């Protein structure tokens, strides 16, 4: 057998039959690989401007079926752009400053009107579920214990928030981040109830942002036809889980690690829903 047209025989051996005819040596070579994959011999004959593949006569039907299946597969195959579906929205210039201003003003008011301001706004499981104080999952996000607490949430919140902004867009991204904080606080309250539990801090929304990013990574893998490769799908989830474990504060009894988990899971669920919804094509920001 031969893979090169220049060295191909001018006549096939006896007891062989024509399996296929092609217009180029490259096309003939590609289809010859199918025959090789069947562990069968073939003969490549180049004559009159065409490239012919011959196989043993008794194998002709089997080879013809495989070549037909190969052509059908190639006709339906489309190359996958590894960057397809990855949005890169222009990062908002104003929203990070507005968010920083809101958290800073809230912290000043919290200290100026202590302890009433924090008491009425903190996450209170019994107040939320027993006394119908519906605002608590939201207002608790804007309260903080001390300066390092508020500064840490501002820094990490702006970092994750900017990435979410570039992934989902300004309006949808920050809305999902806020919603993940509210939903995360709600889930923790449902888990703690009927026990009394108090919490404050924007970190529930911050870890919600991490969940949003993991969800988009998961959705991107799925869109790129990795659905049958479980390992590929798990990469963003494992990475997000490791980051959650590293920064979640589970070793510190003063930190509500459960709220971080609730925010992360809420962000992941909301992110999955948003990632598979059709969105306007993003303008690329460099």
The answer to the question of residue 85 being in a domain is: no
Q: Exposed, middle or buried: residue 39 (CB in 10 Å: 0-12, 13-18, 19+)? A: exposed
Number of domains in the chain: 2
Residues 146, 266, single domain; the answer is: yes
- Which of the pair, 257 or 233, is modelled with greater confidence? 257
- CATH code of the domain containing 66: 3.30.70
Residues sharing a CB contact under 8 Å with residue 61, sequence separation 6 or more, in sequence order: none
The answer to the question of residue 138 being in a domain is: yes
CB 178 within 8 A of CB 205: yes
- Which of the pair, 2 or 200, is modelled with greater confidence? 200
User: 286: pLDDT confidence band, cut at 50, 70 and 90?
Assistant: very low
Residues 161, 255, single domain; the answer is: yes
Q: Tell me the pLDDT tens digit for each residue of 60-75.
A: 888 888 888 888 877 7
Question: How high does pLDDT run on average in the chain?
Answer: 79
The CA distance from 42 to 32, in Å, is: 7
Residues 156, 42, single domain; the answer is: no
Q: Is the pLDDT of residue 218 over 90?
A: no
DSSP conformational letter for 57: G
Q: Tell me the pLDDT tens digit for each residue of 85-136.
A: 555 676 667 888 888 999 999 999 999 998 899 899 999 999 999 999 999 9
Residues 164, 267, single domain; the answer is: yes
The CA distance from 26 to 6, in Å, is: 12
- Supply the residues annotated as catalytic: 203, 260
pTM: 0.63
CA pseudo-torsion sign 155, 159, 164, 165 = positive
Residues 64, 121, single domain; the answer is: no
Residues 58, 192, single domain; the answer is: no
Residues 104, 22, single domain; the answer is: no
Q: Tell me the pLDDT tens digit for each residue of 243-285.
A: 555 554 555 556 677 888 888 899 999 998 887 776 554 443 3
Q: What pLDDT shows up at residue 284? A: 38
Residues 192, 141, single domain; the answer is: yes
Give the residue numbers spanning the domain of 38: 16-76
Residues 118, 230, single domain; the answer is: yes
Q: What are phi and psi of 131, to 5 degrees?
A: -110, 10
Q: What are phi and psi of 45, to 5 degrees?
A: -115, 125
DSSP conformational letter for 43: E
User: 79: pLDDT confidence band, cut at 50, 70 and 90?
Assistant: low
CB 223 within 8 A of CB 232: no
The answer to the question of residue 3 being in a domain is: no
Residues 40, 166, single domain; the answer is: no
The answer to the question of residue 6 being in a domain is: no
- CATH code of the domain containing 101: 1.20.1540.10
Q: How far is C-alpha 66 from the geometric centre of its chain's CA atoms?
A: 37
Residues 61, 191, single domain; the answer is: no
User: 178: pLDDT confidence band, cut at 50, 70 and 90?
Assistant: very high
Q: Tell me the pLDDT tens digit for each residue of 12-69.
A: 788 888 888 888 888 888 888 888 888 888 888 887 778 888 898 888 888 888 888 8
Q: Is the pLDDT of residue 1 over 50?
A: no
């Amino acid at each position: 057998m031969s893979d090169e047209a220049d060295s191909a025989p001018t006549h096939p051996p006896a007891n062989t039959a024509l399996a296929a005819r092609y217009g180029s040596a490259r096309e003939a070579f590609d289809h010859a690989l199918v025959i090789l994959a069947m562990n069968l011999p073939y003969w490549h004959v180049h004559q009159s401007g065409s490239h012919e593949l011959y196989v043993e006569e008794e194998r002709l039907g089997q080879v013809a079926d495989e070549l037909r299946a190969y052509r059908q597969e190639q006709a339906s195959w489309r190359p996958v752009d590894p960057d397809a579906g990855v949005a890169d929205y222009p990062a908002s210039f104003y929203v990070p400053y507005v968010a920083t201003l809101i958290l800073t003003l809230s912290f000043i008011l919290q200290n100026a009107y202590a302890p009433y301001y924090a008491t009425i706004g903190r996450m209170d499981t019994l107040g939320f579920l027993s006394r119908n104080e519906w605002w608590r999952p939201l207002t608790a996000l804007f309260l903080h214990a001390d300066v390092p607490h508020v500064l840490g949430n501002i820094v990490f919140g702006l970092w994750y928030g900017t990435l979410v902004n570039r992934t989902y867009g300004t309006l949808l991204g920050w809305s999902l981040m806020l919603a993940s904080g509210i939903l995360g606080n709600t889930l923790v309250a449902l888990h703690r109830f009927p026990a009394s539990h108090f919490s404050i801090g924007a970190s529930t929304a911050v870890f919600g942002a991490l969940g949003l990013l993991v969800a988009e990574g998961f959705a991107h893998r799925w869109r790129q036809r990795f659905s049958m490769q479980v390992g590929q799908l798990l990469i963003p989830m494992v990475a997000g889980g490791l980051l959650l474990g590293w920064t979640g504060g589970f070793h510190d009894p003063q930190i509500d690690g459960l709220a971080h988990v609730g925010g992360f899971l809420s962000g992941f669920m909301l992110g999955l829903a948003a990632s598979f919804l059709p969105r306007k094509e993003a303008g690329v920001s460099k």
